[in-house]
Structure 1
Amino acid sequence: MPSAVAHGMLAGLSEIADIGRDRRAGGYSRHLWEPAEHELRAWFAERAARLGLDVEVDRNGNTWAWWGAPGPDAVVIGSHLDSVPGGGAYDGPLGVVSALEAVARLQAAGFVPGRPCAVLVFAEEEGSRFGVACLGSRLLSGAIDADKARSLTDRAGITFAEAAVTAGIDPAHLGRDQESLDRIGLFLELHVEQGRGLIDLGEPLAVASSILAHGRWRMSFTGQGNHAGATLMSDRSDPMVAAARAIVDVQEAALASPGSRATVGRIEALPGGTNVIPSAVHAWLDARAETDDQVHAVVADISARVQNQHAGCSATVVEESWTSTVTFDPDLAARLALALGGIPALPTGAGHDAGVLAATVPTAMLFVRNPTGISHSPEEFATLDDCLAGVEALDTLLRELL
């Protein structure tokens, strides 16, 4: 592997290593249209410009960097730069940096593409600010209603439409972007693996075979806000108690459905005072399984259990986002695996923009080994050798596809 590629890979990750560091949670917190994410967008535009790529932001906030003139039947590669709260350094940025390095490597070799090519950075992949994962690709493909997207709110009560205006995006034009979709002949996303599949196989790379069905639901519990010291325990309608019981039920319902995963990773109490019995508690459920029916069955079980956790409170469970099981085109996956020497195929439990686009355009994914097996955490990692293997794989595939 040429040292220039290693240097470029390290430089790409090191240039953004201090952007969005979260001193409280650890790792990185890089959320859509907040200062850290704006800084990442500027970094991407500058780094793309070094390669002579033409950068444009589409009407949904996704950023494209074109190698040559934009056009139909383009090979588009990329990932995302936003993160979960306290996330790792590789989830998203590895795919973006690797895509730029693959283009740089091809340029240095004098390769001239025979069809249009672009590096694409999706907006709000993690859904950490507005609650819907892969929001940029959902809007691009029409997988979410534009009016629903415009009305989404962050924790400060700012709507997606309001935030879009501050970022220079016209909210009236949000939604399915057929012109951009028509340009994509194939989308390829490289991503650090979020699991132990490649560790167990002893391989640095794999192609994606499928993505588990998954969704997010908001569980809301409403009671009576009151004084923590003046209200007898027997006189309380405490939604935190109802929420706590429901969270235990989430684990039990998932364990009762083999292969299912259910998580409550965020909870908010209103008004949020230490000496205040909450008037309402919201808890967000993430549920996943191999089939759509299995996820819906688990969520139905959870909903039934939640309704029984009264503690003098009312409860609701409302769906906020949903993605059916994704099976990537097996012929395309086999073609890419063969071009890379017969690398294995792996399913994943993590959602990706490639999975959203798979219903609209041909898509594929490459996974790079994560030796910790940990993701959405500061412990997420990939070795330099494996990262460079990913760049070489993109180089090989682009030579074949372009």
Structure 2
Amino acid sequence: MSNPTSQLLDSIADVGIDHTRGGYSRHGFDRTELELREWFTAEAGARGLDVRPDRNGNLWAWWGAPGPDAVVTGSHLDSVPGGGAFDGPLGVVSALVAVDLLRASGFTPRRPLAVVVFAEEEGGRFGVPCLGSRLLTGAITADAARALRDADGVSLAEAVRAAGVDPAGLGADPEAIGRIGCFVELHVEQGRGLVDLAAPVGLATSILAHGRWRFRFTGQGNHAGTTPLEQRADPMLPAAEVVRAARRAASTVEGSRATVGRLVPRPGGTNVIASTVDLWLDARAPDGVATRELVERIADDAEQAARDEGCELEVTRESYGDSVVFDDGLRDRLAGLLGDVPALPTGAGHDAGILAAHVPTAMLFVRNPTGISHAPAEHAEPDDCARGSAALADVLRGLAG
């Protein structure tokens, strides 16, 4: 039997289906994400919430008048390319259902309460994750953000303007941050921690330090059939070495991960030696020192491989977030409200991690029986989704009451 959380998720199940990759492709300010933003505005309005976009394209749905010391919950609606149905939307849907549960119980918040949808959390279109919360907090400058471009060359400034957001207004918003008393984000777990603990809901303790680096190898484009091997400067060879170097380096730094998930040769012809190859490294480790050590090892191997092939290498850091330890006091309070739920770390980044440097933040995880995320096999059982919404309602009642 369905439940309100599953029903709301089902209502957007047809939006952004990726028939090529499988799963969903919903990217910041594209057609599908704008459709989801309209869906959220309608659903929040149907609950009597006052929806107000901020200067950075984040959506805030207020229960009552906006004010200081607000209890805020929510997540995001965008996805990675070919992502799952739960990463992001489950947190938004659960927040709306939690409002329903609170209203049905006769609860009226004594503190301002809001549901927020952050823009471009995954960075699937413009390359920088948690872009909406980074802009809000000033973790990225407005000029740097406006200049970001997607794969088609569309700038963020152009994209937000088309979505009705003034690009001149992008940037740090101390007034909005000042209204947040605490932020609690519910998210599907992106691993097997809760599966192994046989628990439907858990709390987050920390986030690994993580970042994204672009490696650009420049060689000499040429004919694949007429250019002898000894006369080539093929940037694909050192690029391939980075894929292997990432695995080698990560295996030597305890608790780290290093991944090459995207590689773009130019011009990209089957019978053409590439002139340039761009690849993106995702690197994560328990702290900033370990993350820098990891990336330096990979970059050293990449530099040597480029020299061996007669190519040049440019490494650019596109985003970085240091390790985050969630607010102990807020987490203890949530544990008191929820009872005996496990607490565990995560290697995934979240808007809650960006906000943690400015306001007390916490996270709830809902069990993912596959342990898979950022892929179509990501899942959460309907009963566990309902438990997550009920747990979030209990948390909001305790914090806002």
- Give the TM-score range, shorter chain: over 0.9
Question: How many angstroms does 1:258 deviate by?
Answer: 2.1
Q: Which amino acid aligns with 2:162?
A: T
Alignment of 1:272-311 (within 5 A): 272-310=268-306, 311=309
Question: How many angstroms does 1:253 deviate by?
Answer: 1.0
Gaps of 5+ in 2: none
Question: How many angstroms does 1:202 deviate by?
Answer: 1.0
- TM-score, with normalisation over the residues of structure 1? 0.97
Gaps of 5+ in 1: none
SS in 1 for 2:240: helix
Whole-Å Cα distance in 1 between the matches of residues 335 and 377 of structure 2? 28
Whole-Å Cα distance in 2 between the matches of residues 110 and 9 of structure 1? 20
Question: How many angstroms does 1:342 deviate by?
Answer: 2.4
- Establish whether residue 154 from structure 1 lines up as the match of residue 150 from structure 2: yes
SS in 2 for 1:308: helix
- Once the two structures are superposed, residues 186-222 of structure 1 have per-residue CA deviations (whole angstroms, 9 ceiling, x without a partner) of 1110000001111111111111100000000001100
Aligned to 2:236: 240
SS in 2 for 1:309: helix
Identical counterparts, % of pairs: 61
Aligned to 1:202: 198
Whole-Å Cα distance in 2 between the matches of residues 298 and 39 of structure 1? 40
Alignment of 1:1-400 (within 5 A): 7-310=3-306, 311-400=309-398
SS in 1 for 2:36: helix
In the alignment, is the contact (CA less than 8 A) between 2:3 and 2:382 conserved in 1?
no
Question: How many angstroms does 1:272 deviate by?
Answer: 1.2
Q: Which amino acid aligns with 1:333?
A: R
Whole-Å Cα distance in 2 between the matches of residues 172 and 206 of structure 1? 40
Question: How many angstroms does 1:373 deviate by?
Answer: 0.5
In the alignment, is the contact (CA less than 8 A) between 2:3 and 2:386 conserved in 1?
no
Question: How many angstroms does 1:69 deviate by?
Answer: 1.0
SS in 2 for 1:215: strand
In the alignment, is the contact (CA less than 8 A) between 2:242 and 2:302 conserved in 1?
yes
Whole-Å Cα distance in 2 between the matches of residues 229 and 56 of structure 1? 59
Q: Which amino acid aligns with 1:361?
A: V
Whole-Å Cα distance in 1 between the matches of residues 108 and 253 of structure 2? 52
Whole-Å Cα distance in 2 between the matches of residues 289 and 108 of structure 1? 44
Q: Which amino acid aligns with 2:19?
A: R
- Once the two structures are superposed, residues 331-380 of structure 1 have per-residue CA deviations (whole angstroms, 9 ceiling, x without a partner) of 21111012101211110000000000000111110001101100001000
Question: How many angstroms does 1:7 deviate by?
Answer: 3.1
Question: How many angstroms does 1:316 deviate by?
Answer: 1.8
Whole-Å Cα distance in 2 between the matches of residues 214 and 221 of structure 1? 23
Whole-Å Cα distance in 2 between the matches of residues 35 and 210 of structure 1? 34
Whole-Å Cα distance in 2 between the matches of residues 375 and 11 of structure 1? 21
Question: How many angstroms does 1:23 deviate by?
Answer: 0.5
Whole-Å Cα distance in 2 between the matches of residues 340 and 139 of structure 1? 32
Whole-Å Cα distance in 2 between the matches of residues 317 and 382 of structure 1? 38
Whole-Å Cα distance in 1 between the matches of residues 284 and 260 of structure 2? 12
Whole-Å Cα distance in 1 between the matches of residues 57 and 268 of structure 2? 33
How many residue pairs get aligned? The number is 398
Whole-Å Cα distance in 1 between the matches of residues 253 and 64 of structure 2? 50
Point out 4+ residue stretches in structure 1 off by more than 2 angstroms.
Answer: none
SS in 2 for 1:316: strand
Question: How many angstroms does 1:9 deviate by?
Answer: 1.2
SS in 2 for 1:98: helix
Q: Which moved more, 1:310-319 or 1:212-221?
A: 310-319
